[in-house]
Each structure stands twice: as C-alpha cells, then as structure tokens.
Amino acid sequence: MTETTEEYRPFTAQLSNVYLTILALFCFKLFVRITLNLLTHFYIIKGNRKEAARISAEFYDNGQGHGSWADRSALHDAASQGRLLALKTLIAQGHSVNVLTIDHISPLHEACIGSHVACARALIDAGANRGTNLETPLHAAAQKDCISIVKLLLEFGADVNARSLEYKRPVEVAPPGSLTEGFLLIYEATPRSLRQLCRQQIRESLGRSRLHLLSHLPLPKAMKNFLQYR
C-alpha cells in the first residue's frame, strides 16, 4: 500500500502544478482585463474616445479577447453622417439601434452629436434607448446646443436630471447663455403635463422593442397617432 502511494506522488505533484499554472494564467488574464478597463475608463473621462478605442482594438487584435468593443456599427456611421435613408434601411434589416461602442456611444448619441434631428427621430421611433451608462444623448445634444433634438428627447421621456461621468446634468453642459440652457432651466422648473406623462407611461409599459407594433393595435387612429407622436 505504501509503495502504491509513493508511485502516485509524482503524478499528484504534476497535477497540482497544472492547476497552479491554470490559476496563474487566469489571474494574469483577469489582471490584463482590469488594467484595460481602467485605462479606457480614464481616457473616456478625459474625453479621448479615439485613444480608448485604440487601446481596446490593440488588446483584442493581439488575440486577448473574442471581439472588439471598439468596432462601430453601420448604424453609428449612418447616424453620425446624417444619412437618413441608409439609417432606415439598416433598421428595417434588423440592425440593433442600441448597439454600443467601447465608451457606450449609441447610434442615437452619434445623431445627437451631429445634430441630425431626422436620424434621431428615426432611431427613437425604432426603440432607441434615450440613456446609456456613461452619458445620455441628451447631454450630447445639450452640449452641441441643438435645441431641436433636446426638445425631441425630452418629449420622448429622456431624463432631464440624468448625470454624466462628471456628475453633471444636461443643463450644466449646455453652452452658458445659450437657448438650450435657457430652455432646460425652464423645463426643469415646469411640471410635466398629465397628457405627456400618460403617453410616456403607455409607451414604457409596451416596451421599446414592441413600439413598432403600435400601428397594429386595435385602437382609434387618433389614439395611435397620439402614442406615436404624430
């Protein structure tokens, strides 16, 4: 019995070494991922989206991951360039309107940055989320002083009190003395109408993924137009 135990000791030691090696590799990979996230988070806070995307792209291109978060979708490009027809075509083909880049930039965010009102409306109609984890499209529209998109987003239920990474509300990122800043200040101080609250509640209960079914509901045409902002 003792001899058998002695024979298995080298095998047990080798098995332990294998486990330790696997654990070390896992810890190293986890450390690299945490470091990458910290670096990209730092660059995002500093406003350097390109550098954040470059770091992520290099990390994934070197075989450390399974795909690049930095990749922009065709929807991002169409929204940022204001190509409404291409945007609607992509939406009709089933492309997700809520796809995000590494710094949580959505196609709607790109439309707001470019002040493309029609593209923003098309994305919202298709169920685009009005907010992200880092910064909302409303912040981007306010910063660009695009009051048309600001009004559009608020009408569709965007949170006027949402906070950015720097803990600023949309009114605080709007250019000082601009029309957008004045409008947001008035909007914050004005209670929402019951009509608007009811419409937003119905749309939220229906869910963004089912908003395209509104026209098929057995409702009067006036009610459908009301729910679809028409």
- Domain assignment present for residue 98? The answer is yes
Contact of 132 with 106, CB cutoff 8 Å = yes
At 226 the pLDDT is 80
Amino acid at 73: S
CA 143 – CA 158 distance, rounded (Å): 15
Q: What angle do CA 78, 79, 84 make, to 5 degrees?
A: 70
CA 45 – CA 48 distance, rounded (Å): 8
Q: Please check whether residues 94 and 18 belong to one and the same domain.
A: no
What are the tokens at 39? 């670096």
Q: Please check whether residues 121 and 168 belong to one and the same domain.
A: yes
- Domain assignment present for residue 229? The answer is no
Number of domains in the chain: 2
What are the tokens at 230? 């028409």
CA 119 – CA 116 distance, rounded (Å): 6
Whats the size of the chain, residue-wise? 230
Q: Please check whether residues 92 and 168 belong to one and the same domain.
A: yes
Q: Helix and strand tally (H, E) in the chain?
A: 12, 0
CA 89 – CA 83 distance, rounded (Å): 10
Contact of 48 with 110, CB cutoff 8 Å = no
- Domain assignment present for residue 118? The answer is yes
Q: What angle do CA 96, 97, 101 make, to 5 degrees?
A: 90
Q: Please check whether residues 55 and 86 belong to one and the same domain.
A: no
CA 196 – CA 215 distance, rounded (Å): 19
- The alpha-helical segments, DSSP class H, found in 72-193 are 74-81, 84-92, 107-113, 117-125, 137-143, 147-155, 170-173, 179-189
- Domain assignment present for residue 2? The answer is no
Amino acid at 26: F
- Domain assignment present for residue 221? The answer is no
Q: Please check whether residues 83 and 166 belong to one and the same domain.
A: yes
Task: Please give the C-alpha separations between residue 183 and each of 6, 18, 138, 163, 219, in angstroms, as whole numbers.
Answer: 82, 64, 13, 18, 34
- Domain assignment present for residue 230? The answer is no
CATH number (domain holding residue 172): 1.25.40.20
Which of 62, 78, 229 is closest to 154 using CA atoms?
229
Q: Please check whether residues 38 and 113 belong to one and the same domain.
A: no
Q: What is the pLDDT along the chain (230 residues), one digit of tens a residue?
A: 455 555 545 555 555 666 667 767 667 666 666 665 555 555 444 444 544 444 444 444 444 433 334 467 888 999 999 999 999 999 988 888 888 887 778 899 899 989 999 999 999 888 887 665 456 889 989 999 999 999 999 988 888 888 887 888 899 999 999 999 999 999 988 887 888 888 878 877 777 677 777 777 888 888 878 887 77
